[in-house]
Each structure stands twice: as structure tokens, then as C-alpha cells.
Amino acid sequence: MMKNLEDPYAVVYRQIHAIVDEAGERIELVEHSNCYGGSAWARYHYSKGPLIINSRSVGDWFRYLISAGKVELNLISPKISAGIESVLVKEHEVEITYSGLGGGGVGATVTRALAEDVLRYEITDSGGGRVARGRIVLPRRERLIIGVDDTDNKTQGATWALIHNIASLLDRSDARYISHSLVQLFPVPIKTQNCVATVVEFACLPGKSDGLMQDFKDMLQRYSVSENTGMAVFQGFDPSSLLQYAHRCKRERVQFEDALEVTRVFGVKPLIDGRGLIGALAALPFYASPDESVIPG
């Protein structure tokens, strides 16, 4: 028997999150797509808008770095058929207004309005040749990045797999697991095999990071088979201040004392301070960069 489509013109995003910097001026909008082709079309058009600083796709996650504000878009097919008109940051919420022509209007309305973790929405009719608009309200979130290294030994374990499985298990509405990267480090003599650290990223509601960090630490200590595990945590919008140290760890052997100094200078939390802390710290700035992070120094 032929099945019926519940809504033949809606491909709803899985999740949408708004990660906001400390000043409330920059927002990373992170959309988990259910249709890569449709999201790639949207990214092409949205990226032409004046509020968009840059954009990229990481697997089926589409990420837009945006300036807070409001603009008027002159939608002209096929040059710019859809875009983001406004991003308003409030104390606990972020309001985003999309607009689009034709199929782009469908994407601007029901496709995003019905995504998981959207608090409220207002949409116009869409489809055909009309211009449509949709406003969604998202919880304001903070970035939490966890770097880990040295959880295995010569006979068992794989850090990248353990960290992904822990992050997947701990994913919840107040702390969403959104990225995972393997980070190639300098092949020091003291290593299991490949000398690769792992970093995962969460989008957390305010006040929920501490509970997640403790849960992650407990799980890591439970399942690690190494006595030298390191776990480092960065709470903030942009960990690029750690890149110099990270690239050094890709090029040469770094001493444990140097890693401890980095935690003090840059305010990184060393939740587990085994020898693996060296690589755990180096992994942090490569969050959401899985294609770049695997390249040797």
C-alpha cells in the first residue's frame, strides 16, 4: 500500500541552537539539517546577507556566525532568494527572523519553526511565488568545549570512540552535543599508537555546564583504561587564544609543565590532570573543525 506524506512540502530541521558571546553581540546559529541539499542552498543565499560574518557546514550541521541586529533584505531570485533579517539577543532568549521566496519561504517558516528546541514561533503562509517570513525563539546558549587525551592502552581502547559515546549518552535538552573532532598531535615516544586527542562541543543553557562537566568526568574515569588520562574544559565563545599552543603540540613535544601554565594563563579547567592533559588542551581550539584537525603539524 502506498504511504501518505504527512506534510509533502516540509523538511523539518532536527535541531536549531543559538550560542551567544559574553557581550551578546555575536551569535553562532547552529542548524542540524535533515536534508543537506536544501541546507546547502540556504547557506549559499543566507551567507550573502549583511548580518552574516561567515558560514560553514560540518557534516549535516550548518553553522552561521552572525552579528546581532536587524536589516532589510531585498530578495531577488536567483541572486538572493532567502536570508536572515534579524537576530535579537535577550537575557535568556534569542529571536531570529528568516525570510524567503518560494521554496526558500518554506525553509524560512515551517521547516525551522518545528525544529527541536525551538521555544516559540510565528510564521506566514509560504510556498508558490510569495515572500514568506518566520520568527523563531530559541534559548540563549553558551559554548562548552571538552578536550580529552590518553584513555586507552596498548591492548584496548580508542579515545575518539569513547568520547563520542559519552557525549552522545549525555546529550540532553539543556546541554546539546553538537561536534566532535580528532586532533593529530606530534608523535611523541610516550603514546599508545597514533597520538591523537579528541574534542567535543556542547551548546548549554546558562547554569547547566557544571553538571555536564561533572557527569562527563565521572563517565570518563569509569571507562578510561589509562592512568594518564587528561581532561580539559573551555567555557566561552572563542578558544582561538589556545591555537598557538595547539599548533606547537602538533609540531613538537611539549612538556607537562607547559600545559599547566596554559591552563593558568587562559583560564582552562584541568578536570583530570594526567599526562594526557597536554593533548587535551591542544584539542580545544579545533572544536567543530574535523577536517583541519586531523592534519599533522
- Each residue's pLDDT tens digit, 209-256: 999 999 999 999 999 999 999 999 999 999 999 999 999 999 999 999
Amino acid at residue number 78: P
Say if residue 80 is in the same domain as residue 161.
no
Instruction: Return the CATH number at 168.
Output: 3.30.70.2200
pLDDT band at 175 (very low <50, low <70, confident <90, very high): very high
Domain identity same for 136 and 154: no
**Helices and strands: H and E segment counts in the chain:** 9, 13
Q: Which helix (H) or strand (E) holds 213?
A: helix 209-223
Residue 7 has what pLDDT?
86
Grid cell at residue 21: 558571546
Q: Pick from 145, 147, 150: which is nearest to 224 by CA?
A: 150
- 237 and 194 both lie in a single domain: yes
Residues 173 and 121 in one domain: no
**How would residue 2 be classed by pLDDT, with cut points 50, 70 and 90?**
confident
Among 140, 166, 195, residue at a domain's last position? 140
Query: How many domains are there within the chain?
Result: 2
The rounded distance, in Å, linking the Cα atoms of 281 and 45 is 36
Model confidence band, residue 189 (pLDDT cutoffs 50, 70, 90): low
Q: Are residues 285 and 177 in the same domain?
A: yes
48 and 85 fall within a common domain: yes
* Mean model confidence pLDDT for the chain: 94
Instruction: For the chain, give the percent of residues with pLDDT over 70.
Output: 98
> Is residue 158 located within the same domain as residue 283?
yes
Residue 2 lies in a domain: no
The boundaries of the domain holding residue 54 are 15-140
Torsion of CA 272, 275, 276, 282, to 10 degrees: 100
Return the pLDDT at 192. Answer: 52
Of 65, 11, 56, the closest CA to residue 33 belongs to 11
Let me know if residue 69 belongs to a domain: yes
Q: Are residues 165 and 280 in the same domain?
A: yes
Higher pLDDT, 169 or 8: 169
Given CA atoms 111, 209, 200, 184 in this order, what sign does their dihedral have?
positive
Does residue 83 belong to any structural domain of this protein?
A: yes
- What's this model's pTM, rounded to 2 decimal places? 0.94
- 5 located within any domain: no
Please give the full DSSP string across 83-97, using - where no structure is assigned.
Answer: EEEEEEE-SSEEEEE
Q: Which of the listed residues 140, 158, 191 is the one where a domain comes to its end? A: 140
Residues 171 and 103 in one domain: no
Q: What is the DSSP letter of 102?
A: T
Domain assignment of residue 201, yes or no: yes
Average pLDDT over residues 252-265: 95
Same domain, 125 and 252: no
> Are 159 and 133 contained in the same domain?
no
For residues 128 and 180, state if they share a domain: no
Residue 195 pLDDT level (bands cut at 50, 70, 90): confident
The residue from 140, 160, 185 where one domain ends is 140
Question: Is residue 4 situated within a structural domain?
Answer: no
User: Does residue 10 fall inside a structural domain?
Assistant: no
120 occurs within a structural domain: yes
